[in-house]
Amino acid sequence: MNVCMKCGKPLTRIDIGAYKKFINRGSTRFLCKQCLADHLGVSVELIDRKIEEFRQQGCTLFL
Ligand SMILES: [Zn+2]
């Protein structure tokens, strides 16, 4: 199972999709949504909102 490379929390498909979308699509190690938000210097709410936008655009990472 994939875990966050920073805090060790188990990752959801959404966490992985968000990391790929925001950081690097080819990555094989990921951050959870919280650590991703910290890394980017934004709030988790903003990440959630962007994910929802991507999903509505039909992004396959979030289906
Ligand atoms: Zn984490």
Question: Cα(39) to centroid of ligand 1, in Å?
Answer: 10
Question: Cα(48) to centroid of ligand 1, in Å?
Answer: 15
Question: Cα(57) to centroid of ligand 1, in Å?
Answer: 26
Position 7 in a domain = no
Question: Cα(55) to centroid of ligand 1, in Å?
Answer: 22
Checking if the pLDDT of 1 tops 80, the result is no
What pTM, to 2 d.p., does this model score? 0.89
Overall domain count for the chain: 1
Position 4 in a domain = no
Rg (CA), the chain: 11
Q: Could you read off the pLDDT of 13-52 as tens digits, one per residue?
A: 999 999 999 999 999 999 999 999 999 999 999 999 999 9
Contacts of residue 2, defined as CB under 8 A and 6 or more positions apart, other chains included, come to 10, 11, 16, 30
Domain that holds residue 20: 13-62
Please report, for residues 9, 17, 21, 25, the alpha-carbon distance to residue 5 in angstroms, rounded to integers and kept in the order given: 8, 15, 17, 16
Position 44 in a domain = yes
SS3 10: strand
Report the distance separating Cα 6 and Cα 29, nearest Å: 10
Position 31 in a domain = yes
